Amino acid sequence: MYKVGIVGLGNIAAGYSGPEDAAPYTHAGGINHSRKVELAAVADISEDAREKFRAKWGNCFPNTKYYRIHHSTLHKLFSV
């Protein structure tokens, strides 16, 4: 199992499709359909973007950690 993170929670990351889509075209959707990948963390400078992601995808990724983008974020993502 690979652990991955998403930095930036815009449309390509999560907005263009939802968990109910059989063939999603977002990073979150692809991760959700993979048996080899676990979403360990997401990061965005916008609290609103983080909350929208949690509302839309949170049930799919209950153990995902949420971060505000900061210079230490990448270090945190890769030491999960």
**What are the tens digits of pLDDT across the range 12-62?**
999 899 999 888 899 999 999 999 999 999 999 899 999 999 999 999 999
Q: What is the pLDDT of residue 28?
A: 96
SS3 (DSSP) at 42: strand
Q: What is the pLDDT of residue 44?
A: 92
Query: Into how many domains does the chain fold?
Result: 1
Average pLDDT, the chain: 89
End-to-end Cα distance, the chain: 13
For residue 71, pLDDT beyond 60: no
For residue 74, pLDDT beyond 80: no
SS3 (DSSP) at 47: helix
Residue type, position 57, single letter: W
Q: What is the pLDDT of residue 78?
A: 63
d(CA 11, CA 42): 14
Pairing of strands 65-67, 2-7: unpaired
Domain of 66, in residue numbers: 2-78
Length of the chain: 80
